[in-house]
Homo-oligomer: A and B are copies of this chain.
Amino acid sequence: MRDISWSKKEKEIARRAFGNAYQKECTALVMRSKKMLDSINDPRDIWKIHDMLTESREEIDLKYDYRYSVLISVFARLLRESWLTETDFAGLREDKLESIKALSEII
């Protein structure tokens, strides 16, 4: 997987898909935070929201790794978690698509 090559066009598709997934996760986090904030009864529960954001940030920072050497497995995970769909990968070489799909089943 490490020596897989990415054409210029594929890099554009990858960059866009990566950015879209990141945007979607952040949007979901905004919604989750709003929901938590709206249902706060005890103001001290603000720290539960902080804890949730800290945990999410660590997870997202680790997950969104745009090195081409690991991008197939990053995309496989994003596919499995439904942040991306197969249509987001339209235009990638067939072997890459197959690797992403296969890996998403076992990751």
Query: Measuring CB to CB, which residues of chain A are less than 8 angstroms from any residue of chain B?
Result: 22-23, 26-27, 29-30, 33-34, 37, 40, 43-44, 46-47, 49-50, 53-54, 57
Contact = CB atoms under 8 A, between A and B. Distances in A.
Given A47-B57, A54-B50, A57-B47, A33 B26 contact: no
A interface: dominant SS: helix
Contacts of A40: 30
B57 A33 contact: no
Nearest to A28: B43
A34 B37 CA distance: 7
A40 B28 CA distance: 13
A79 B29 CA distance: 36
